[in-house]
């Protein structure tokens, strides 16, 4: 039996539910709207528990949850001793050191003796220590951080940015990147060694992530073009080629190819004589 901690709301909630659905482990009910705290899935040995993204590092470190999904910024801020298993490729963000556009400060070193407001005091202190910038007063706030330099609370902030819109609207400019954050599947160290089921979940999630980078391509190819077409689509172990029973000598060619090559490949195939080309998404791919 394993417990998986997933964000109950916020930016990571929806993409996490979508990922588990695609992996064949749909979360039945739950989420902040239903106020449900625990949820089941297709596998009776797996339970989901809903928690704030910021608390998940702690729950996984303590073993309340065996595995969980959250951002590396929150793992680092909580100094959680957990295993980071898979980069899930959504919810990336950066912690930025920023000052008002009108500020006279130009470089991080000039913040010595000044105040910096943040939701991430630990990472912020580590940053100034690492860069040997002394006497910076770190002020912890729990949201709306961008406002603090404009109301005299601090001279600078360290805050999350992804699209950059909030920084722009609040007339702030970045002077350094403090932390590059990605969303990870994290695991309790003891659970990882003891629970085989974690490997199954890891494989299921990895298969979804890999599938997103691939496309399944199918086409009919006249016999005379087959050799040339095979060169264009190598596939994972070479394309699958099947003879088509028809009036003219024809083959059906199927292959799994990298998604970012599709645009170029389709055009080449058409020029080489391929017909009836179909491109399909791949749901899961287990190499």
Ligand X SMILES: O=P(O)(O)OC[C@H]1O[C@H](OP(=O)(O)OP(=O)(O)O)[C@H](O)[C@@H]1O
Ligand Y SMILES: Nc1ncnc2c1ncn2[C@@H]1O[C@H](COP(=O)(O)OP(=O)(O)OP(=O)(O)O)[C@@H](O)[C@H]1O
Q: Which residues of this chain interact with ligand Y, rule CB under 6 A?
A: 7, 10-12, 53-54, 70-71, 73-74, 91, 93, 160, 162, 181
* Token pair for 129: 């220590």
| Separation of first and last alpha carbons in the chain | 26
* Segment interacting with ligand X (CB under 6 A) among 125-133, 138-146, 211-219, 256-264: 138-146
Least CB distance to ligand Y at residue 170 (A): 14
Beta carbon nearer to ligand Y, 53 or 154:
53
Q: Is 151 in the site for ligand X (CB under 6 A)?
A: no
* Token pair for 119: 């939701």
Q: Is 144 in the site for ligand X (CB under 6 A)?
A: yes
Least CB distance to ligand X at residue 225 (A): 48
Per CB under 6 A, which of residues 157..186 are in contact with ligand X? 159-166
Q: Nearest 10 degrees: CA dihedral of 65, 51, 22, 92? A: -100
> In residues, how long is the chain?
287
Q: Is 143 in the site for ligand X (CB under 6 A)?
A: yes
73 binds, among ligand X, ligand Y, none (CB under 5 to 8 A by kind): ligand Y
The C-alpha atoms of residue 56 and residue 234 are separated, in whole angstroms, by 43
Beta carbon nearer to ligand Y, 145 or 221:
145
Element (H, E) at 99: strand 93-100
In sequence order, what DSSP letters do the residues of 148-215 get, joined into one string?
Answer: GGGGTS-SEEEEEESSSHHHHHTTEEEEEEEEEE-EEEEE-HHHHHH-HHHHHHHHHHHHHHHHHTEE
Beta carbon nearer to ligand X, 25 or 138:
138
* Segment interacting with ligand X (CB under 6 A) among 80-88, 129-137, 139-147, 188-196: 139-147
Beta carbon nearer to ligand Y, 75 or 138:
75
């Amino acid at each position: 039996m394993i417990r998986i901690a997933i964000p109950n709301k916020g930016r990571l909630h929806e993409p996490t539910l979508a990922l588990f659905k695609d992996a064949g482990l749909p979360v039945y009910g739950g989420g902040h709207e239903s106020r449900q705290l625990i949820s089941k899935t297709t596998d009776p040995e797996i339970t989901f528990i809903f928690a704030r993204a910021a608390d998940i590092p702690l729950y996984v470190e303590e073993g309340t949850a065996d595995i969980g999904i959250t951002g590396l910024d929150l793992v680092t801020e909580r100094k959680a001793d957990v295993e980071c298993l898979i980069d899930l490729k959504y919810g990336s963000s950066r912690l930025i050191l920023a000052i008002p556009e009108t500020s006279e400060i130009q470089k991080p070193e000039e913040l010595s003796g000044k105040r910096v407001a943040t939701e991430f005091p630990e990472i912020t202190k580590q940053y100034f220590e690492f860069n040997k910038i002394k006497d910076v007063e770190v002020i912890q706030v729990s949201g709306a951080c961008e406002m603090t330099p404009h109301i005299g609370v601090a001279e600078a902030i360290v805050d999350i940015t992804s699209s950059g819109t909030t920084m722009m609207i609040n007339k702030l400019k970045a002077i350094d990147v403090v932390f590059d954050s990605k969303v990870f599947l994290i695991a309790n160290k003891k659970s990882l060694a003891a629970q085989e089921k974690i490997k199954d979940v890891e494989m299921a999630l990895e298969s979804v992530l890999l599938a997103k980078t691939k496309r399944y391509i199918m086409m009919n190819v006249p016999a005379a073009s087959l050799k040339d077409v095979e060169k264009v689509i190598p596939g994972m172990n070479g394309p699958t080629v099947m003879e088509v029973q028809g009036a003219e000598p024809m083959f059906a060619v199927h292959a799994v190819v990298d998604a970012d090559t599709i645009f170029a490949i389709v055009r080449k195939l058409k020029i080489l004589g391929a017909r009836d080309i179909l491109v399909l998404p791949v749901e899961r791919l287990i190499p």
